[in-house]
Each structure stands twice: as structure tokens, then as C-alpha cells.
Amino acid sequence: MEDFWSGVGVDLHLEPDAAEGRRAGLERALRDAVREGRLAPGTRLPATRRLAAELGMSRGTAKAAYDQLVAEGYLRARQGSGTEVAALPTDGMAPAAGDPHTRAPRFDLRPGSPDVGTFPAAAWLRALRRAIASAPSMAYDYGDPRGRIELRTALSEYLGRARGVIAPPERIVITSGYVQGLALLTRVLDGGVVAMEDPGLPFHRDVVRRAGGRVVPLPVDERGLRAAELGEEDAVVVTPAHQYPTGVTLRPERRRALTDWARAHGRLVVEDDYDGEFRYDRQPVGALQGMAPGHVVYLGTASKTLGPALRLGWMVLPPHLVDAVADAKLHSDHHTESIGQLALAEMLTAHAYDRHVRACRLRYRRRRDQLVSLLGAHRRVRGIAAGLHALVEVPDEAEVLDRAAREGLAVGRLGDHWHTPGEGRPQGLVVGYGTPRERVYPEALEALGRVLGGVRRGRASTR
């Protein structure tokens, strides 16, 4: 058996069996590589002359093997372009054409994502070029688990100015998104009992549980988290700027109750500020962290402002937690990738990030206004003052979701967010107006209008 490496633009690794004969062994090795997916469709193969020279066989033998696999449909030969791997039929079952629940949605109004088509590619590229041009060589080595000092310094200025966060650079840890930050913090707390909003995002509850924490529900009403019901829990996770999924903003007296509880019991408040920059009726509400920086962990990300694919988040920690979280980060993934950190630092320092957030705020406000106009005064809708989603109350989620599926429309379901689903719970649609691309958003709203138009009306009020 002979191993070899070759390639035109790619390295090619095969193991032809000499016992089968040169041609048969090459055919079998190539055929297996294509079947197993090690050679992807479109991969260009070496010229027969080069392949034959590396294998120590005649060019005619190599050409005959190629010709056989072309005839079998594994390879494709193009005049002037050489030989490449063909796309094979898949064995997977396609969704049934008549089942609307298995088709990919035509319109996506699910919450949780921004319009990724608005990613500021030109501004990011400029920032990336400037960052790389000025980066020290050590930026390409292993780094501080807390993150690049350039980004931590830029975030310190930005968060203090725009969100009211007390954030010295030495108390900031850069993470690969919110989920990693929440998991790291739960590990540092050695599990413990963590109160989480009810309703809230099930995935975040799973993150806490998988990191060793025990989750208990804490109800949310029209004034936000019911902080007065906190007891001996070790920590509480809250979304004060725009609660997910109800959309309410935590009222001032509840904010004070949270920080008073944390101080009195030596406990921790975890503030998830995932879309705190997007407020439409007035200036964005300042972060809770500024009220009790010694007892509040502030978590933010670039996922809603720039895009989830960047995987850039940050934690602003009380002094006594910095070293422990940095050590947990070190033993989790050492540190978040550095080049993206440098680019974001450049955007923040040059205020390109501020300009992008302001442009997005105006764009999403127009979308919010279009949604409110569609709903009119005939449906009860919450959470329209901020964020990228709204909660539309409906009398029967199952009926509405069935109609939505037939329209090719995907929306969120309030019932999925309760800690313990059951009868008697309020029902509603969680409508995300950030996800669709600009050109399809009006059509998505029309589909939503058709869905809601065929459902019994609830109480006629809007807030």
C-alpha cells in the first residue's frame, strides 16, 4: 500500500492497494474518497501526467482510471478545465411536498437574530486593515485570556459613555458570545441556584444546567422580573432593557429591589444586555450594572449590532470575580480569537460602531412602526418600545401556527418559553422584525397579516 500527496490547488491523499493492480487500485481509492465525502463535489483533481509521475505508473493507466470514474458518474471532465469530482445524488429523504410543516419557511419572523444583510462589510474591512497594519507580531500568538487590551480599553470607554456601565479595562473579559460568558460564570459559581426569568429563553436555562447550575423560575409581569420573590438563590439572570420574550422594560423600583437584594445577601445579578442599544421611544435605558457594579455582572455582545457570526461578547465583572472567570476562560478555550477583537476595537475607537448602531436603530424603528401599523388597535401587542421583537397575544397558538405554516411563515411561540408549560398560561406569538432582509420584510408582514386576519380577535388594546 502506498500513501502519496499531490494536488492542483489542493493536497490529495489516497491509499491505492497495489494488490488490486495499479489501475483497479487507483479506481477504488478515488471511488471510496468520493463516496465517503473526503473529496467534495467540485474538487479539481491532478492532471493525469502529474498523478502518474507521483504514483510511478504510466499516464495511460491514470487516464484510464479517470475515464472509468467519469463513465460511472463519480468524476466530471471539462474541456480546458481538467477533471473534477461530480456531485452524487444524496440518499436523504426530501421533505414531503404536501406537508407545510417540513418545508423551509418562505418568510422568517422568528426572533433572535438581526438583519445580517446590514453587516457593515466596508467599515469592518477598513477597521480590519487598520488593525492588522498596526498590530504587533505578538497579536498572532497566544494571548491574555481576558482578551486584547485594545478591545477592553475601547469597550471601557464605549460602555461607560453609551450604556452607563462602570467598566475599567482590567474588569472586562472578552468571550466568544453571551453563551460562553453565562457558562463560565456558572462554573465559577460552582453551580449553585440560579433564578431565571419565567418566561425566558429555554436554551439559556440549558446552558446554566449543563454548566452545573440549578435553575429556578422567577415570574415576569408587566413591570418586569418580580424581584421581591427572590430568596436564597446564589444569582439571578435578568434582561432589564427589553425582557425576552415579553418585551417589557424592568421598572425603576424593580431595578432597585434587585440591587438591594444583591447587596443585602451578598448575591449576584447577571445582566443580559443583548439588545440594550435599540430603544425607539426615548434614549436607551442605562444598564443596571451602574447601580451596583460590585454585585452585577454585565454581559453584552456584538451579535445583534453587527452579527452573531463574529462570536464577540464581553463580561464586566465585580473585582472579586475577575481572576476566577479569567482562569475558567483560560481552561475553556485559552482566549477568544484576536484579529476580530482588534477590528472591533478599531471600529469603536473611530466611532464607526456608533454610526452603525444609530443607522440600525433607525432601520429597525421603521420596521417596528410597520409592524405596529399592521396590527393596528385590534391586537394586544407588547414590547414595541425597544429591541428586535414584539409579543402579540393570541387566543390559540396552535391555530395561528398552523395557519402560519401554510403561509410559509415562521414565528416564535410564547408557549415554548415557560419553565413549566401548561394550560392557563398566556399565549402569543414572538415576532422578530430584525431577521428578514429589507426587500422581503413587507411581504413577510403581509403574510403575518393574512395569518392574524383569520384568527379570532383578542381584546382591542395596544401597549
The answer as to CATH 3.40.470.10 being correct for domain 4-85 is no
Write down the pLDDT at residue 96. 44
Residue 58 has φ and ψ, to the nearest 5°, of: -75, 155
Q: Name the band, by pLDDT with cuts 50, 70 and 90, for residue 12.
A: low
Q: Which three cell numbers stand for residue 228?
A: 421581591
Distance CA 407, CA 400 (A): 11
- The predicted pLDDT at position 23 comes to 87
SS3 call for 136? coil
pLDDT at 459 over 70: no
Can you give the pLDDT at residue 305? 94
The answer as to CATH 3.30.70.141 being correct for domain 119-354 is no
CA pair distance 197, 216, nearest whole angstrom: 9
pLDDT at 377: 57
Q: Any long-range contacts for 119-124 (C-beta under 8 Å, 24+ apart)?
A: 119/306, 119/307, 120/306, 120/352, 120/356, 123/347, 123/352, 123/355, 123/356, 124/306, 124/343, 124/347
The tally of CA atoms less than 13 A away on the side-chain side of residue 338 is 19
Q: What is the mean pLDDT of the chain?
A: 88
Question: Domain limits of the chain?
Answer: 4-85, 107-117+361-453, 119-354
pTM attached to this predicted model: 0.80
**Which residues have CB under 8 Å from 92's CB, separation 6+?**
none
User: If pLDDT is split at 50, 70 and 90, which confidence band does 409 have?
Assistant: very high
Fold assignment, 107-117+361-453 = Aspartate Aminotransferase, domain 1 (3.90.1150)
Q: How far apart are CA 150 and CA 346, in angstroms?
A: 8
pLDDT for 268: 97
